[in-house]
């Protein structure tokens, strides 16, 4: 916001709903003078304007239209090299020498290729050296059976505890003060 855009107090831009000025019929209305200091004005050179617009994202043609300058002058201000006419530039192109040589085909008629034979396997299945005793097998079976019946046993135990609690409560109610 520029300094000159600040509205001084008492002008129509400021809300003065609670303030009512006292007018005397014999005095003419006085002009309100701005209390704000005057804004300073900076004048940029054409080159500075061009560079500022380029920093803001304007293209050369947009700057040309905005400032009324030709694109050649704007390009000079921005340091863009002028394009040369393509007819005056001569180039000589020499293609690089090829270093690739095609491989020679293999002559299979003179010597036949060896046949592939798979290597023999030296792996032998190990023999079982440990046998489990029957008591361990029986213990595992009993453990598996006990684990499968565990939820049923836990449920029965919880029901037994609940019924014992209810019986105790009823006994206390019936044996109350007489």
Torsion angle of the four alpha carbons 80, 81, 83, 86, in this order, in degrees rounded to the nearest 10: -150
The C-alpha atoms of residue 4 and residue 35 are separated, in whole angstroms, by: 11
The C-alpha atoms of residue 54 and residue 66 are separated, in whole angstroms, by: 12
pTM (predicted TM-score): 0.27
The C-alpha atoms of residue 44 and residue 77 are separated, in whole angstroms, by: 14
The predicted pLDDT at position 162 comes to 92
The C-alpha atoms of residue 138 and residue 140 are separated, in whole angstroms, by: 5
Q: By percentage, how much of the chain surpasses pLDDT 90?
A: 10
Residue 50 near residue 74 (C-beta atoms within 8 A): yes
Q: Which two tokens stand for residue 23?
A: 């007018």
**Nearest C-alpha neighbor of 71 from the set 80, 84, 61, 83:** 61
The predicted pLDDT at position 27 comes to 58
Interval 1-27: pLDDT, tens? 554 555 555 555 555 555 555 555 565
The predicted pLDDT at position 38 comes to 65
pLDDT per residue rounded down to tens, the chain (178 residues): 554 555 555 555 555 555 555 555 565 556 556 566 667 777 888 999 999 999 999 999 899 999 988 989 998 988 887 655 555 667 788 888 888 888 887 766 666 667 888 878 778 787 877 777 777 777 788 888 888 888 888 888 888 999 999 988 888 888 766 5
The predicted pLDDT at position 142 comes to 83
What is the sign, positive or negative, of the torsion defined by CA atoms of 126, 129, 134, 136? negative
The predicted pLDDT at position 124 comes to 79
The C-alpha atoms of residue 60 and residue 168 are separated, in whole angstroms, by: 99
Other beta carbons within 10 Å of 16? 12
């Amino acid at each position: 916001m520029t300094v000159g855009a600040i509205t001084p107090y008492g002008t129509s831009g400021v809300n003065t709903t609670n303030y009512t000025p006292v007018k005397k019929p014999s005095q003419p209305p006085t002009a309100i003078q701005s209390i704000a200091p005057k804004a300073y004005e900076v004048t940029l050179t054409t080159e500075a304007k061009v560079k500022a617009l380029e920093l803001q994202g304007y293209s050369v043609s947009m700057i040309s239209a905005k400032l009324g300058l030709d694109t050649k002058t704007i390009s000079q201000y921005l340091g863009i090299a002028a394009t040369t006419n393509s007819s005056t530039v001569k180039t000589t192109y020499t293609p690089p020498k090829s270093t690739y040589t095609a491989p020679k085909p293999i002559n299979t008629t003179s010597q036949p290729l060896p046949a592939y034979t798979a290597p023999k396997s030296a792996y032998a299945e190990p023999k079982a050296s440990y046998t489990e005793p029957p008591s361990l097998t029986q213990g595992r079976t009993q453990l598996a059976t006990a684990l499968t019946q565990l939820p049923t046993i836990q449920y029965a135990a919880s029901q037994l505890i609940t019924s014992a609690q209810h019986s105790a409560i009823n006994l206390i109610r019936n044996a109350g003060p007489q």
